[in-house]
Amino acid sequence: MSTNFAHPLDPLSSDELSTVFNHAKTAWNLTERHLVAMCQLEEPNKAEVLAWNAGDELVRAARLAILDRSTAEVYEGVITTTGEVRSWKLIEGAKSPVLSTESTAAMAVAKADSRIREALIRRGVTDPDEQVHIETWPIGAQIPKYLDDGRRLVWTPMWMKPNQDSNMYAHPINGLYAIIDLQTLEVVDIEDGEVTPTPMASGDFRLSQTGGHVKLKDLQIVQKDGVSCEIEGWKVNWERWNFRVGWDQREGLVIHDVRFDDNGVERRIGYRLSIAELVIPYGDPSQGTYRKNAFDTGEYGLGNYTNSLTLGCDCLGEIVYLDVAHLTPEGNVKEIKNAICMHEEDFGILWKHVDVDGHVEVRRGRRFVVSSIVTINNYEYGYYWYFYQDGSVEFEAKLTGILLTLSDAPGVPHPSATQLEEGLWAPYHQHTFCARLDLDIDGGTNTVIEVDSVATPFGPENPHGSAYVTSQDVIKSESDAARLLDLAKSRYWKIINPNKKNHVGQPVGFKILGNVNCLPFADPESVIGKRAGFMYRHLWVTKNSKAERYPAGEYPYQHAGGDGLPRWSQANRSLENEDVVMWYVFGLNHIPRLEDWPVMPVERLGFTLKPVGFFKRSPAMDVAPSMATCLRCKGDSTQPCTCNH
């Protein structure tokens, strides 16, 4: 039995993963025909976690989704590290995410198929084994009628790799796709359309190819007195913040139990914050693209693709890393070293004022960063959580990597794509994220309010025409809780604790502020529109339920649609002064630029949780001036610099 955890929300350790899998094998008679689709920490109930003290008894448990390859059925079970089975059942109609083992096998099957090989040779490939890379994608759109009998299918975009270090995305092979049954590993159909030239302009990006000749002087971030954080296992104390870092095979990075020390009073802000789904619908209707509507979280398990980070490259400064582990489909433990990076960053000035007599007060701001990066085929996603000295928490997604491409005969127009080179196109697409925010503002029961700014009509209340007021609309129940942003009203949403008032008699709260956002262009009646119905609103609020974890449901792969937030909301549960979850949907409408090629400079989007009436006044006032020696005034390093540089 393994007990190497310090807290109920610590991610499952390597020992715990292998222990639960061994128990599961015995308890559920798992054989080679079974694959682990997902293994997650079975988080105890919130009340149990909040009441837990170090040293208390706790039996840890894992939730496993098991794929039976012989029937393509999915079973889910919860089993403890002591071998006690808490549940085990068939999930009717569920389709497992594509597992790495299955992808590898499907690629080999496609490559070995004589029809594919001949079709590749017709397209100018001289060595199909060495010069072609095949990807296995879920069919994210209509499945051909004659194949739509419930089987799990992948289809296979293919790329030419003229040399081992070529960027294959510069050389998409057009008009050739295998459709493979993941269960039988049969090529059930081959779509072999028009033969068009494969674009051969280079997409090279390796240093050995680009030279990287633009150089700057070295920049070091040194904390000579050490870091300002204390990290005990997965718990972080920094500045007045404390929280726990978590990690999940499906969601990747998770933040738990966020608290802030407000002049000696520890106040709860968030219980569990994660990015619960990421879906990328593509907008080009051509054969090579219309099926590309991947749920990177729900269909792949984003955490599986977590990078091992490199000091000085991915992260700069005094870094603390955390390692994570997960189960492979075969049930082996895979460890990812340096999976999560934590450090402090200088973040410019926090606040400043020069008084009439010339007196200067200025504070430099610092932020604490927890981050992780995944690579899923062509794209990289960085998830960054920032904690600020003004009481704010920010999530930022960093999008980089390589544009997904298509090729076509020179001269054929693609109005839903950007031409990068002759015959090489980058289709328009949207990256749509959904954050699941189980916030607990000063306690477990909260209310969400929509705040609009509204101009007062000319008249006795507004004689000069400049007046405007805010109107507050309490989101009372779930039928009322799917909302859209409105620029004309400067709309925002806040979550308050109606039971706790600040010194001016208003309920304490936080608001959520997005930056970049968009709405989907896929028709709500399209396959992707139905499967990702959550995309059509920016905010959803639900009553907290442990069973409601992902906005498009537990198993979006080939799902008929309608699951997740649109379905749960129909229960129309009351949301006033309840334990609620806010789901914030934010997207980047990506119209590719030439400058996004061949590797896209980081694009950023996300949201900030800002206190509104949570504190009596700015918590940044308590921050001491920085004492670093100013290189310009060469000031005394025990005194704040006043030279204003």
DSSP summary character for residue 618: -
CA neighbor of 559 nearest in space, from 279, 343, 371, 370: 279
State the virtual CA torsion across 263, 266, 267, 271 in degrees, nearest 10: 150
CA neighbor of 273 nearest in space, from 438, 411, 120, 128: 438
Shortest CB 281 distance to Cu ion, Å: 11
CA neighbor of 613 nearest in space, from 393, 435, 442: 442
Pairing of strands 333-354, 429-439: unpaired
Q: What is the strand order of the sheet 73-80 is part of?
A: 34-41, 61-68, 73-80, 85-90
Number of residues near Cu ion (by CB under 5 A): 1
Q: Following DSSP, what letter does each residue of 172-201 receive, concatenated?
A: BPPSEEEEEETTTTEEEEEEE----PPP--
Name the one range near Cu ion by CB under 5 A: 132-140, 183-191, 470-478, 590-598: 590-598
Shortest CB 154 distance to Cu ion, Å: 22
Name the one range near Cu ion by CB under 5 A: 136-144, 228-236, 516-524, 585-593: 585-593
Shortest CB 205 distance to Cu ion, Å: 16
Q: For Cu ion, which residue of 292, 573, 590, 610 counts as binding (CB under 5 A)? A: 590
Of 271, 282, 300, 379, which is the active-site residue?
Answer: 379
> Torsion-angle region of residue 239: left (phi > 0), alpha (psi -120 to 50) or beta?
left
Helix (H, G, I), strand (E, B) or coil at 421: strand
Shortest CB 94 distance to Cu ion, Å: 29
Nearer to Cu ion, 8 or 598 (CB): 598
Residues 272 and 278: beta-carbon distance below 8 Å: no
Nearer to Cu ion, 400 or 477 (CB): 400
Nearer to Cu ion, 573 or 590 (CB): 590
Which residues, 6+ apart, have CB-to-CB distance to 31 below 8 Å?
A: none
Of 296, 408, 563, 579, which is the active-site residue?
Answer: 296
Is 550 tagged catalytic? no
Nearer to Cu ion, 429 or 559 (CB): 429
Shortest CB 419 distance to Cu ion, Å: 16
Nearer to Cu ion, 402 or 508 (CB): 402
Which residues, 6+ apart, have CB-to-CB distance to 135 below 8 Å?
A: 107, 156, 157, 158, 159, 377
Nearer to Cu ion, 190 or 516 (CB): 516
Q: Taking the chain, what is the end-to-end CA distance rounded to the nearest angstrom?
A: 59
Nearer to Cu ion, 143 or 168 (CB): 168
Does residue number 511 form part of the binding site for Cu ion (CB under 5 A)? Answer: no
Is 296 tagged catalytic? yes
Nearer to Cu ion, 128 or 514 (CB): 514
Shortest CB 370 distance to Cu ion, Å: 24
Name the one range near Cu ion by CB under 5 A: 166-174, 492-500, 562-570, 589-597: 589-597
Whether cis (ω within 30° of 0) applies to the bond prior to 598 is: yes
Crossing angle (nearest 10°) for helices 114-122 and 100-112: 70
CB-nearest residue to Cu ion: 590
Shortest CB 135 distance to Cu ion, Å: 16
Shortest CB 400 distance to Cu ion, Å: 10
- The label of the residue with tokens 């930022």 reads 396
| Residues designated catalytic | 296, 379
Catalog residues that contact Cu ion under the rule CB under 5 A.
590
